[in-house]
A and B are shown apart, each in its own frame.
Chain A
Amino acid sequence: MKKITTHSLHITIILALSVGLALVFNMLRPDPLPMVYAQESQVQLDAQSGEISLKDATLLFVSQRAIFLDARDNYFYNQEHIQGAFSIPPDYFDYEFPKISDQLTDKILITYCDGELCQLSHELAEMLKGQGLDNVYILVNGWGLWKNENLPTTSGSTP
């Protein structure tokens, strides 16, 4: 009986020592592992096509992981745009981009315009990539789809 107690004590000490070492070593790591495992995101980003679906864009909008960039003309942006979206028509890229470039790093960027055949969002995406931003996705016919689902919008010249 005494032997079993002694062995159990040794096992407990070994387990405690291992847990302690693991936690200390993890704290000292430059990229410590969080205590709770994060499941892979359900959002599917296809880097090859560079396009994003409305469902995924909405999920990123709600979780505030994405910044929406409106490629349409200023006139249409002022009338109504996706809530929080910045206005960057490709023709005014050189003027508008420096104003907001600080806010675009480490975020997923979603460009949109109006209509299936609208090329402005594609042009804007290429210009952003030209500035070294990799996380750029196009929501094809974004404005039409967004409005169709009654998702949050706002009007005026500010996001």
Chain B
Amino acid sequence: MSITKPTPSRAGPNAVEVMYGSPVYSQVMQFLNKEARLLDHRELRAWSSMLATDLVYTAPVRSTRRVEGFHEEFGSIGHFDDDYNSIMSRIDRLVGTASAWSEDPPSRTRRFVTNVTVHETETPDEYAISSYLLLTRNRADAKDYKQLSAERLDRLRWTGGRFLLFRREILVDQVVLGMPNLAVFL
């Protein structure tokens, strides 16, 4: 396996914000809505076609810190610490075997994606995107939902007439997750 230094996920302070309602903004929204729909409908292979092969996909653990230590809120260990190959391997396990018990029977999920901001980056055709995610997850006969809210910091690359995701950092709001695993993608 190869170790690659991931692209910083948050847009820099001087980055130019892409106008709400512009063609690029609309394309980004279409991308985010489409992947939420595919993931909620368990179309994982179709979702994987939206990923770039240099994907870095992480969800750093969070700690409760005093305000003075806030910059150390996120740790070097991740709930996810993945690349394209490992994501594809997870998908193969989930849809390619009859024994991925954590999602068989599967959860019923909804991914609500809002508060989308898009910034230009130093590389033409690459954009830095921040979005809010609310995941509701219901399983078996539970009357309530496991929920997870997060900010997602994405990088999308315009390649051959479509966007591909090549960086996603998921900043989960919980220090102690309320769900027993992340057998679903965020």
Question: Are A and B a genuine interacting pair, yes or no?
Answer: no
Q: Which residues of A contact B (CB under 8 A)?
A: none
Q: Which residues of B contact A (CB under 8 A)?
A: none
